[in-house]
Structure 1
Amino acid sequence: MATEQSLEALLEERMKLHDGTGGIGDQSSKNKNVPASVALPPGMQKNQDSTSEELWRELNRTPLFMTSLDDTDGEENVALEALKALAYEGTKAEVAQNFREQGTELVRLEKRYPEAREYYTKALDALKRPPLPPDPEEGPQVIEIDEEAEARKERDIEEVCLVNRALCNLEMKNYGLCNRDCAAALRLNPRNIKAWYRAGSACLALDKIPEALDACQSGLQFELHNAAMKTLLKKVESRRDHLAAAEKSRAERLERQRLEEATLRLALKSRNIPTRKTDRPPEMPEAKIALDDPVDASSSVSFPVIILYPAHAQTDFIKGFQEDESLTDHLSYIFPLPWDEQNEYSLDKVECYMETIEGGLIKAGKKLSLLKLLSSGKLEVTDGLVRVSVVPKDKAGEFIADFKKRRGKQ
């Protein structure tokens, strides 16, 4: 921002000198030796009739003053293209080394990993570029190059750039790309400890524990006392133990769940209580059939029971209705109902009904245990939930007729 302001000030000063409205031009009346108007430098004569905005745009096309490589307005910028071409002058190793150093500076000084990664990529691309053709205007050139030494230099730069780009990818959480760069570096030099370390770190982040262990152990073969690698190995081993314990706990939990489910099935079968599941079970996660002892089929079974009051569109829910309990046991504390303004619901004024397997209705004895009702062979527990309709006696006929009517339409 400071540079932009200083450039704007420079432009304003130039305009004052040009049109004689201020600055030195104002002193012309006092000092006749100073001309009233000072011409622009020869390189800017073509812009003497331009506005300050146009002059600023022209300056911004000059590489020295550019704030962005995109500030070209889609036009060819010869100076900029020439500057870019300079980056590729020299041998492949020299060009790659230049890009590598720029990437390293970004990492060391500013931790700008995305930009640094781009420079390492440019360095690697430069090593793959074919040599530039000679300039015909310069004539044939004879350059003596030790090809073997140059190849070694290129190989070393490639290895370093791959390992450094792996670091950038690791910091950016691009773990797959990090592993790919490490693998390429290790093909060049299997003893590169940094490549083993960064590969191990990426595998650990992905919970690829066997691969992370292999990377750590492989690196320690070449540097047994490398502190960073030994620290990483401890982290990997700790994560391995944690995951193993979690997996063991999960397996035990699943095995316990399977045992409990099998025990419950056995308990219901031995009691002659059929069950059925539908495609649309009610969203009631708390509604579960349960044994007092989940792994003992002979222990008492409790059922979730929903009490329906169809005449008044009301319900009550009993989470744990024990098999040896009766409807009277529960209705006795449910009644009186808070919404029963006409006092229609009491033990002696209501009838209880349950739907049969065939789709009919049976009158459920209020004093019978739930086990006797469910094991009669006429009822079934649907989606783990027992349903009982409670109807005032004087409305029972209407309820039954309505039920038959609805069933007849299905």
Structure 2
Amino acid sequence: MSEAKEDAKKPMTEEERLQLCEKLDKELDDFINSLERKRYTEGWPEDRWEEEMDKHPFFMKSVPEGDEMSPLAEGLAKLKYDPEENTPLELATSYKEDGNFNFKHKNYRLAILGYTEGIKAKCDDAEMNASLYNNRAACNWFLKNYRTALFDSERALSFNPKHIKARLRAAKSAFEIAKYDTCIAHCQILYEEQPDNKEVVDLLNMARKRQKIQLRDQRKKDRDDKNKNEQREGVIKAIVQRGIKISKCDGKLDIDLGKLEPTLPGAQDAIVHIEDGILKWPVLFLYPEYQMTDFIRACPENVPLLYQLEQVFPAPWDKNDKYSCNSINVYFEGHDKMPHIIDPSKNLGELLVAKYFELKAGTPSFFVFPRGSTVEARFLESYL
């Protein structure tokens, strides 16, 4: 009886193993090639994922009655997957059968589980490992997990560098995630083996075209980044040279453009910049009497503030014509938390270096009132 058991557990010969691997691979390849080329829409629906999980042997709570069982379910019933009763190669083969079964039924996520368990068996057969990784890559390809498909395909190639299907899938996956250099490298190897393969030639040509565009765009981005960095450095250098005080900065070494970005909604792109050596600032005028504001996107530092006010007056909300350049007072709130009246005929640059002026949120802000008005008196009293 023990002799019969020994015979039953006799390991497969090399010839038998190769025949089995070829048979499993051929069955899966034939099935893949027979698939209709269309967009994948057969994944687990969100409203049925528990039902799908219950069909899998790893998660099912009871054996289904009357339904066809996958090889994995039948194998579990027969202790087919017991590591103490099977060699790593036999386990890998069984899990591969289960993966192939689920793949043919378009249960790609379940197939991935099968192939993954086969990989975990850690058999020392290179061809089996290459096949498991290649098949798992096929599942990820159909699920549009192109980055993972590339990883699995290249893992398959590490076990069998001659695996044509794994290399082609690696090339196609690399193309989908814009890794054109990787795609080209795989295509060139394929081209050496199959110079007449139209799919490989077309993919290689497309990847080379896309790579040229990608390199051109990267060069443009690098130039733009360089110009932006030079612009930032120029702005910071100019601010330091002029001695403009920045709120929440502990000195000139602590100044960066992040602290100069306007906080007003929609004004983030109006950050201070430099043109021909002239700083251009976003400026905010506030009219507390009407709770209105005017936002000037780029006020040159060498232009009187009065010129900007002339552009906004008469204001459409000023029904009584109280606001004009000849009838207003303009203030800023200093770092001493007190209001300071200014002369709007001075250049903006002069006002920014006034004794108590401190730049907040990257935007010079000024309060505007009708001269001698009640609202101006209340504003001043609020600081007492």
Task: Give the whole-Å Cα distance in 2 for the aligned partners of 1:79 and 1:285.
Answer: 62
* Aligned counterparts of 2:236 and 2:162: Cα–Cα separation in 1: 60
Aligned partner of 2:337: which letter?
G
TM-score normalised to structure 1 length: 0.57
205, 209, 213: which one aligns with 1:242? 213
**Among candidates 386, 396, 399, match of residue 379 of structure 2:** 399
Conserved? CA contact 1:178–1:199, under 8 Å: yes
Distance in 1, Cα, partners of 2:112 & 2:143: 10
Which amino acid is 2:246 matched to? R
| Corresponding residue for residue 285 of structure 1 | 268
User: What is residue 191 of structure 1 aligned with on the other side?
Assistant: 162
2:317 is matched with 339
Q: Secondary structure at the match of 2:295?
A: strand
SS of equivalent residue, structure 2 residue 268: coil
Q: Deviations over 1:49-98 (max 9, x none)?
A: xxxxxxxxxxxxxxxxxxx999x99478699789946998xxx99x969x
Aligned residues: 304
- State the alpha-carbon separation in 2 of the partners of residues 102 and 350 from structure 1: 81
Judge conservation of contact 1:103–1:117 (CA < 8 Å) in 2: no
8 Å Cα contact 2:102/2:108 also seen in 1: no
Q: Matches of 2:122 and 2:381 in 1, distance apart? A: 89
Counterparts of 2:121 and 2:231 in 1: how far apart (Å)?
Answer: 65
**What's the offset of the Cα at 1:188?**
4.8
Instruction: Report the Cα distance in structure 1 between the residues aligned to 2:301 and 2:126, rounded to whole angstroms.
Output: 80
| Corresponding residue of 2:306 | 328
Say which SS state the counterpart of residue 318 (structure 1) adopts.
Answer: strand
Does the CA contact (< 8 Å) of 1:307 and 1:389 recur in 2? yes
Distance change >3 Å, CA 367–CA 74, structure 1 → 2: closer
Q: How do 1:9-408 and structure 2 match up within 5 A?
A: 74=62, 84=74, 103=100, 163-175=134-146, 177-179=148-150, 181-183=152-154, 185-270=156-241, 272-277=242-247, 282-283=263-264, 284-291=267-274, 294=275, 296-297=276-277, 300-394=278-372, 395=374, 396-403=376-383, 405=384
How far is the alpha carbon of 1:355 from its aligned partner? 2.7
Distance in 1 between residues matched to 2:126 and 2:243, nearest whole Å: 77
For residues 283 and 99 of structure 2, the distance between their equivalents in structure 1, rounded to whole angstroms, comes to 73
With over 3 angstroms needed to count, the CA separation of the structure-2 counterparts of 1:226 and 1:376, relative to structure 1, is same
Greater mean alpha carbon deviation, residues 177-186 or residues 232-241: 177-186
Q: Is the 8 A contact 2:262 2:271 kept in 1?
A: no
Structure 1 distance, partners of 2:346, 2:119, is 85
Q: Which residue identity lines up with residue 365 of structure 2 in the other structure?
A: R
Distance 1:361 1:214, change over 3 A: same
Q: How far apart, in 1, do the equivalents of 2:296 and 2:61 lie?
A: 75
> Do the aligned partners of residues 235 and 400 (structure 1) sit closer, same or farther apart at CA in structure 2, a change above 3 Å counting?
same
Asked whether the equivalents of residues 353 and 390 of structure 1 are also in contact (C-alpha less than 8 Å), the reply is yes
Q: Percent same amino acid at aligned positions?
A: 21
Change (3 A) 1:121 1:400: closer
Query: Residues 339-373 of structure 1, C-alpha deviation per residue, up to 9 Å, x if partnerless?
Result: 34554333443222223344333321132232332
TM-fit CA distance, 1:254: 0.9
SS in 1 for 2:368: strand
Gapped runs of 5+ residues in structure 1?
1-67, 129-150, 406-410
Q: Is the 8 A contact 1:193 1:223 kept in 2?
A: no
- 8 Å CA contact 2:281–2:299 kept in 1: the answer is yes
Q: Provide Cα deviations, 1:13-52, integer angstroms capped at 9, x if missing partner.
A: xxxxxxxxxxxxxxxxxxxxxxxxxxxxxxxxxxxxxxxx
CA contact (8 A) 2:286 2:366 kept: yes
Tell me the TM-score normalised to structure 2 length.
0.60
Structure number with bigger Rg: 1
